[in-house]
């Protein structure tokens, strides 16, 4: 598959995830949280800005609709574009609400709206820090999943994981900064899960071969 087709497919998939998230949000359901897995929300701090932006887009829609009322063709086109923009903005927030971070016994699934879905095996997490940051410099090997321009938990990995961007570009990351509504609880639960996974791995590791008899 050539790159332009792949990019279009990824963009269409992203739009479908946003529309599906609107349905899940209305039904008060979450995506991708299985039995025994712990969800951690990360959308609370962006709620007010996103609703404010959606309101501004709605006001603009009404204003443009009034100004173009005597031009039916242009009015129809702009009305569609403006209404879709409002739906898109609300869909972004709905995706963040319905697609929380998910912690299982083997892995951490970090998500952001409908465009980030990163699976990190627990055995690759070397350190977890509760670290509130509002500035993020672009650096190789570092992924910043900001919410309202902030991150609150930093993960250092013993081995890199591959992050795939919205348009399909892949890059290895060894440090991941993310945000959670209750960052302290999220960091604490993640540390416990990493420790538990390490203990389980040691107990199930094969025993060393017996030494040669003397």
- Domain boundaries defined on the chain: 3-98, 106-204
105 contacts 193 by C-beta, under 8 angstroms = yes
Contacts of 93 by beta carbon, 8 Å cutoff, 6+ apart: 43, 46, 47, 50, 51, 54, 113
Instruction: Round to whole Å and give the CA distance between 10 and 157.
Output: 27
Label residue 75 by pLDDT band (50, 70, 90): confident
Calculate the average pLDDT of the chain: 92
Predicted local distance difference test score (pLDDT) of residue 205? 67
Q: Secondary structure of the chain: what % helix, strand, coil (to 5)?
A: 45, 25, 30
Predicted local distance difference test score (pLDDT) of residue 72? 87
What's the CA angle centered on 66, arms 62 and 71, to 5 degrees? 125
Instruction: Round to whole Å and give the CA distance between 186 and 38.
Output: 10
Q: H helices within the chain, ranges in order?
A: 3-26, 47-67, 72-98, 183-204
What pLDDT digit, counting tens, does each position of 80-127 carry?
Answer: 999 999 999 999 999 999 999 999 999 999 999 999 999 999 999 999
Give the residue-averaged pLDDT of 31-59.
93
Q: What is the dihedral of CA 90, 95, 96, 99, to 10 degrees?
A: 160
């Amino acid at each position: 598959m050539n790159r332009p087709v792949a990019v279009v497919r990824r963009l269409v998939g992203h739009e479908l995830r946003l529309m599906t998230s609107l349905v899940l949000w209305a039904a008060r359901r979450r995506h991708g949280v299985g039995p025994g897995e712990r969800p951690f929300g990360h959308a609370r701090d962006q709620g007010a800005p996103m609703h404010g932006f959606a309101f501004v887009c709605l006001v603009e829609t009404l204003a443009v609709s009034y100004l173009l009322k005597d031009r039916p063709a242009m009015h129809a086109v702009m009305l569609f574009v403006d209404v879709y923009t409002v739906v898109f903005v609300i869909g972004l927030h709905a995706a963040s609400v319905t697609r929380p971070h998910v912690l299982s016994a083997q892995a951490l699934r970090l998500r952001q709206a409908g465009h980030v879905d990163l699976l990190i095996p627990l055995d690759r997490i070397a350190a977890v820090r509760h670290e509130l940051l509002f500035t993020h410099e672009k650096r190789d090997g570092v992924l910043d999943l900001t919410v309202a321009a902030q991150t609150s938990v930093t993960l250092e990995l013993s081995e890199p994981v591959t992050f795939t961007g919205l348009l399909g570009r892949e890059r290895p990351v060894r440090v991941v900064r993310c945000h959670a509504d209750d960052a302290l609880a999220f960091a604490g639960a993640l540390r416990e899960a990493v420790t538990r996974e390490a203990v389980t791995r040691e107990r199930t590791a094969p025993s060393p071969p017996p030494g040669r008899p003397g």
